Structures are given as C-alpha cells and as structure tokens.
Amino acid sequence: MAKTFTAPFAQTYKTNAAAVTAALTGIGTSAVTGAVLLATAGTNGALVTKVTAIPRATVTAASLVLFLVKASAPAVYNLIDSELMAAYTLAATTAIPETAFGNIAPTTPLRLEAGDMLYVGSQVALAAGIVFYAEQADL
C-alpha cells in the first residue's frame, strides 16, 4: 500500500473538564469504578497537550490517575499516568495549586487513536470535587 505524505494537521481544538468526587476502586484491575470521562479522540485521532487538576475544597494528599480506554475495548481501563496532588487548605488569601500531568505537554503530546477515551480519577474522595482539565487537538 502506498504511503501518503500529507501531514495530519490539527482540525479542531477542544478543551474538556470533568469533576471527580468519589475515590477510585478496582485500580489494580481493568474494571475500575469511580473514574470520569475527560476526553474522547475524534474520528482521525487526537493529540492531548495538557492535563491538569485542581481541588474545589481543602484536600489531603491524593494520587490522581489517568486511564486510557480503547474504542475497541470500552470496558477495559488501562492505567497510563499518575501524579500526586499535594495537601492544601482552602483559604481566600492563597492560590489554589494546580497539579499538572508532567508527561503530557505541547512538546510531548499524548497520542490517541480514533475514538480512544481518557478517564480520570482520584484515589482519595473529595465531596466538593477535583476538577480535571484537558486540551486536545483532533486530527
């Protein structure tokens, strides 16, 4: 089969946000509960260039996780990244710290195939929620 040398440029930029309140269960398996959908790749795939999280209340230190769910296996959660959100006491006189997933950046994007989904979660529950944010470019 002949190769096409047309560069796949970004066609649509998207921003996504998802709030997580429950603690994850089943993280040692492929059947995770408590994870929330953050992003879905378009019909030609996508490049995710940023994933961050920020608490909406006082939070203890928490392990934040990122799962890849393939379009071909929508019930299988594959753990692909994790970051530690530091403990923080919410106060009107301090900035709320943002936790960035350091392996994902404009210079090192996460490549997704068509229809692939990113799910996020926390191993520590927070009733007010932790908001995850993602920037992606559909190809």
Residue 1 reports pLDDT greater than 70: no
Residue 7 reports pLDDT greater than 90: no
By residue count, the chain amounts to 139
This prediction has a pTM of 0.90
Section 19-34 average pLDDT: 91
**pLDDT for position 5:** 58
Largest Cα–Cα separation, the chain: 62
3-class state of residue 54 by DSSP? strand
**pLDDT for position 46:** 92
Neighbour tally for 22: CB within 10 Å: 16
**Cα-Cα-Cα-Cα dihedral of 104, 108, 114, 118, to 10°?**
-10
**Cα-Cα-Cα-Cα dihedral of 108, 87, 67, 10, to 10°?**
-40
Backbone angles phi, psi at 123, to 5 degrees: -85, 0
Mean pLDDT of the chain: 91
Opening angle at CA 19, ends 26 and 77, nearest 5: 30
Rounded to whole angstroms, the Cα distance separating 136 from 10 reads: 9
Residue 24 reports pLDDT greater than 60: yes
Express each pLDDT in 105-137 by its tens digit: 999 999 999 999 999 999 999 999 999 999 999
**pLDDT for position 13:** 87
> pLDDT-based confidence at 28, cuts 50/70/90?
confident
Instruction: Give me the percent of the chain exceeding a pLDDT of 90.
Output: 79
Q: Is 77 exposed, middle or buried (0-12, 13-18, 19+ CB in 10 A)?
A: buried
